[in-house]
Amino acid sequence: MTLRTVLSNLTLMLKLTTKKENHMGQSTPYVIYTRNFKTRAKQIGVFAEPTRKYLVDGEVNGGKIKFKNLAVKQTNRKTATNKLLSKGLDFTVNVLGIAPMSSAITMKQNIVSLLKKSGRKVINYSA
């Protein structure tokens, strides 16, 4: 199973999940995105965060996500992303979708599970 197939299936699941919850009360929308590090080990991180930090003209912007993620490099936190960035590795950001918090967390868990099963090295294990 390729990463593209996994991500397209999950994007479809996300669209189906969000349609059900659009009629409920307003909740903070979360963006689900991946950080693909350019290494031989094909390391990837899956994240779900509130969209308000990443909005540009009312839309979630992958470039803004990457810019904010690069700022992690200057912090003293010991994270997998920080370690990879300190080695000088570059990464790409893929925005998978937007959903309410409960759906976003569920999607993140499912994506992490599928990526592990497909043999990718997932850098964040707490889903």
pLDDT of residue 1: 63
Domain of residue 12 covers: 3-20+30-122
Q: Looking up tokens 């197939």, which residue turns up?
A: 5
Residue 74 within any structural domain of the chain: yes
Q: Per the domain annotation, does 84 fall within a domain?
A: yes
pLDDT for res 59: 86
Q: What is the pLDDT of residue 20?
A: 46
Is 75 contained in some domain?
Answer: yes
Q: Is residue 25 part of a domain?
A: no
Note the pLDDT tens digit of each residue in 69-110: 888 777 777 888 888 888 888 899 999 999 999 999 999 999
Give this prediction's pTM: 0.73
- pLDDT score recorded for residue 53: 87
Q: Is residue 103 domain-resident? A: yes
Q: Averaged over 56-63, what is the pLDDT? A: 86
Say if 72 falls within a structural domain: yes
pLDDT band at 26 (very low <50, low <70, confident <90, very high): low
**35 neighbors 121 (Cβ within 8 angstroms):** no
- What H or E segment, with its residue span, contains residue 108? helix 101-117
Query: How many folded domains does the chain comprise?
Result: 1
31 has pLDDT over 80: yes
How are strands ordered across the β-sheet holding 91-100? 91-100, 29-37, 43-50, 121-122
Which residues are paired to 94 by β-bridges?
Answer: 34
